Amino acid sequence: MDIEILLILQQFREGAGSCLLDFMQKMTYFGEMNTVLIISGIIYWCISKKFGSYLLMGWTFNRVLNGFLKVTACVYRPWVRDSRILPNSEAMATATGYSFPSGHSMNGASLFGGSAIRKELNIALRIVLFITLLLVAFSRIYLGVHTPQDISVGVVIGLFVMWLTTKLMYWIDKHPKKDIVVLYVGVLIAAIVAVYAVLKSYPEHYDELGNLLVDGSKMAKDTFKGVGWCIGFLVGWVLERRYINFSTDVSMMTRMTRLVIGLQGYYVINLILNHQLKILLPSVAATLLTCFIQMFYVSFLFPLCMRSLDDETPRR
């Protein structure tokens, strides 16, 4: 049934022209990992530290869980399962890892769904955020890179994790010294998932010419990304809470300064430092370390820089 739905959407996509295709390509962009990380990081730095912490924590938990489920289920992408499926080439480039559950859907559930379930936001905004989540998820099947089962399970699990994260953040507010427990438990679980992804066996199926259809070791890369992001966030989050404790109750000028400089630093790390690490280190180690550095920068290193930035920013 899943494949038949994709074939119907594929036929519609081919006949509808580029207008709807362009829209769906833009919607799927909002479910990409770095997009969600950057938006959540901006909220954390410039808008609401508390809300940003919730989004980043829930997203990193979702990334670890998504990686674990993908390497456990080992479900092939639709075009591998059925050669009649011809996915959109641009979307195919971001369709990394196994297919089930959809990472983009869980990313969208983390950012847009996680915001929509928060009652402190007004109802109109919450409706818009929820619609955005549905469009991000639907874009994945419209573009032919996931099945309806992939996205529906991804959305449900992603929202459930964000609901649990809401409860966890309330508990931390009441027991602020227990943040170290969250750190220890989270790092332990992430490490176990990483070891599991390295040691488990992966299915090996070959085409008529004897070529391996899917390399399981490469499919596990997203799992290692999630582990690196999760550990980087938790370590940085606890250090920030205990030694920096920055505030987002600042002037608009300070917010804009943080935004510009913070993003510049993020891209310097991604384009220069992390690029070099990927050249020098083995694949798994490079993935873990570069993602750790990304998130540690967002959650701790740049907030550490905020002290001097805030002191130098003129106030009105």
pLDDT, residue 283, reads 85
User: What whole-number distance in Å separates Cα of residue 278 and Cα of residue 290?
Assistant: 8
The one-letter code for the residue type at 42 is I
User: What whole-number distance in Å separates Cα of residue 163 and Cα of residue 102?
Assistant: 19
Q: What is the phi-psi region of residue 217: left when phi exceeds 0, alpha when psi lies from -120 to 50, beta otherwise?
A: alpha
pLDDT, residue 316, reads 40
Mutual orientation of helices 18-29 and 2-16 as an angle, nearest 10°?
A: 120
Q: What tokens appear for 245 in the block?
A: 């404790």
Q: Could you read off the pLDDT of 173-184 as tens digits, one per residue?
A: 999 999 999 999
User: What whole-number distance in Å separates Cα of residue 17 and Cα of residue 261?
Assistant: 40
Establish whether the linkage from the previous residue to 282 is cis, with ω within 30° of 0.
Answer: no
DSSP state of 204: -
Please, are residues 169 and 52 in contact by the beta-carbon 8 Å criterion?
no
Per the structure, the complete domain to which residue 214 belongs is given by 2-312
Which class for 14: exposed (0-12), middle (13-18), buried (19 or more C-beta within 10 A)? exposed
**pLDDT values of the chain reduced to their tens digit, one per residue, 316 residues:** 788 899 988 888 887 767 788 899 999 999 999 999 999 999 999 999 999 999 999 999 999 999 999 999 999 999 888 888 888 888 888 888 899 999 999 999 999 999 999 988 999 999 999 999 999 999 999 999 999 999 999 999 999 999 999 999 999 999 999 999 999 999 999 999 999 999 998 988 887 777 888 888 788 888 999 999 999 999 999 999 999 999 999 989 989 999 999 999 999 998 898 888 888 888 889 999 999 999 999 999 999 988 776 655 544 4
Contacts of 301-304 with CB under 8 Å at 24 or more apart are 301/236, 301/265, 302/45, 302/258, 302/261, 302/262, 302/265, 302/266, 303/45, 303/240, 303/244, 303/246, 304/240, 304/244
The number of domains in the chain is 1
